[in-house]
Structure formats: structure tokens, C-alpha cells
């Protein structure tokens, strides 16, 4: 795996890993604290959650990753910093985030247990799915398409890439788009 944060502003702090030694050297999590002009701090996270495999130890690792993600998001929210989590999280959160949701109910990436984590990130911790907030209650926009068939051409995809922000930061977002060029 590999994640990165690029910034024109020098970070005041950087952290590699999400606080769980099991994942800390896997290239799946990096945080940078960026000072803002108003004196506040923006903590940016770039994350990559592996796809998992339903009913296997690999899926349990994915849940462990999300458990730790919950702790980090809670800590950032409690710090008073603005927060932005971006990355490939390999979960389609709602039926609007996957074209063929009925056929994928038992597949990793759309399991009820995975989706429940996202419910908690939003409902319990107050983080906001920025793209969904801007797009509204519509199908998609999707960010991943299978190489099989004509999934890309027919826009039969999954939305597994996210920008999840603290509410104050999410309120500042004006537009979001998926470039399919």
C-alpha cells in the first residue's frame, strides 16, 4: 500500500500509522497537521483500507483497521482541529454508492458490518461525507469500476473513495466531482 499528503504549507506535525502497531508500517495511514491562516489546525489523513474478503481473517483485519480509524477520528474531533480523511476505504456506504447493490450484499465492500462503521463515523462522531453532502440523494457518483464487461462505459460502479470531514470544514465545501476522462 502507499498513501501520501501533499501540501504547499509546511506541516507542523506528521504521523505515520493509525496508532495500531499492526498497521503502522503497512503504508495505509498518514496524518499531517497543517496550520491555517486563522490560527487553527487542519489534520489531513490519507488512508487506504484493503478490500477484505468476507468470512476470512483478512476481513477481520479490515474491521480492526476501522476500529482504529474510529478511535483516530474521535481523537481528532475531540482535539478541536479541523479534520479531513481522504482515500480509498473500499466500502460502498449506502445503496446509492453501488450500482448493483442487491447482488453485492454478501460481498466485501458492501457487507452490513462494514457499512455500519461508516454509520458510526457519521452519526456517532459527526464526520460528514463531503461528496455525498454535495451530490445529494442520487446514485453515485462512482469512483471504481470493474475491469470486467463494460462497467466503466455503463457507469456500473462503486463509490469507495471518500472525503470525510469535520462538520465545520465540510460546510466550507462548494463542489465535488469525479473525473472519468
Can 88 be counted among the known catalytic residues?
Answer: yes
Q: Distance of alpha carbon 87 from its chain centroid, rounded? A: 5
Q: How many CB atoms lie within 10 A of CB 164?
A: 27
Which of 20, 38, 67, 88 does the annotation list as catalytic?
88
> In 61-110, which ranges are E strands?
82-88
**Element containing residue 12 per DSSP (H, E):** none
CA 18 to CA 43: how far, in whole Å?
13
CA 1 to CA 50: how far, in whole Å?
9
DSSP three-state, residue 20? coil
Which of 76, 74, 73, 67 minimizes the C-alpha distance to 13?
76
The catalytic site residues sit at 88
Amino acid at each position: 500500500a502507499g498513501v501520501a499528503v501533499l501540501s504547499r504549507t509546511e506541516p507542523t506535525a506528521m504521523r505515520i500509522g493509525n496508532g495500531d502497531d499492526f498497521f503502522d508500517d503497512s503504508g495505509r495511514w498518514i496524518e499531517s497537521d497543517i496550520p491555517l491562516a486563522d490560527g487553527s489546525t487542519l489534520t489531513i489523513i490519507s488512508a487506504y483500507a484493503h478490500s477484505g474478503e468476507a468470512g476470512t481473517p483478512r476481513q477481520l483485519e479490515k474491521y480492526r483497521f476501522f476500529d482504529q480509524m474510529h478511535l483516530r477520528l474521535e481523537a481528532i474531533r475531540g482535539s478541536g482541529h479541523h479534520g479531513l480523511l481522504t482515500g480509498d476505504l473500499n466500502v460502498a456506504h449506502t445503496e446509492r454508492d453501488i450500482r448493483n447493490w442487491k447482488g453485492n450484499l454478501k460481498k466485501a465492500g458492501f457487507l452490513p458490518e462494514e457499512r455500519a462503521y461508516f454509520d458510526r463515523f457519521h452519526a456517532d462522531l459527526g464526520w460528514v461525507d463531503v461528496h455525498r453532502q454535495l451530490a445529494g440523494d442520487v446514485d453515485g457518483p462512482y469512483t471504481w469500476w470493474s475491469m470486467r464487461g463494460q462497467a466503466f462505459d455503463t457507469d456500473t460502479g462503486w463509490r469507495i473513495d471518500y472525503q470525510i470531514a469535520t462538520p465545520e470544514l465540510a460546510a466550507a465545501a462548494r463542489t465535488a466531482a469525479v473525473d472519468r476522462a
